[in-house]
Amino acid sequence: MEDPAYNKTASRFPPNCTIAVVISAAGSSRRMGGIKKEYYPLGPDHRDNEGKPLTVLGAAVSAFAASPRIETIVITVPLNAEIGEFAARESLPDRFLRGDGPPRILFIPGGINRRISVHHALTLLAGYYPDYVLIHDGARPWIDRDLIERIIDGVIQHRAVIPCLPLIETPKEIDGQGFVRRHLKRAYVETAQTPQAFAYPAILAAHEQAAERELHECIEYTDDAEVWGEFIGPVAVIRGSAANRKITFPEDLRKPNSSAGSQEDKGPSNGGRSS
Domain chopping of the chain, boundaries: 16-272
- pLDDT value, residue 253: 78
For residue 28, the tally of other CB atoms under 10 A from its CB is: 13
- pLDDT value, residue 29: 60
For residue 49, the tally of other CB atoms under 10 A from its CB is: 10
The ranges of the chain with pLDDT < 70 are 1-15, 29-34, 255-275
What is the Cα 69 distance to its own chain's centre?
16
Provide the CB-side half-sphere exposure for 49 (13 A, CA): 5
DSSP 41: B
Rounded to a whole number of angstroms, the CA Rg of the chain reads 18
- pLDDT value, residue 264: 40
Q: Confirm if 270 and 189 have CB atoms less than 8 A apart.
A: no
Question: CATH number of the domain at 16-272, please?
Answer: 3.90.550.10
| Pairwise CA distance, residues 39 & 88, whole Å | 7
Main-chain phi, psi angles of 150, to 5 degrees: -70, -35
To the question of pTM greater than 0.75 for the whole model, the response is: yes
Q: Is the peptide bond before 166 cis (omega within 30 degrees of 0)?
A: no
Nearest to 137 by CA among 211, 193, 204: 193
| Pairwise CA distance, residues 133 & 21, whole Å | 5
Q: Confirm if 208 and 221 have CB atoms less than 8 A apart.
A: no
- pLDDT value, residue 19: 98
DSSP 255: P
- pLDDT value, residue 15: 63
For residue 262, the tally of other CB atoms under 10 A from its CB is: 12
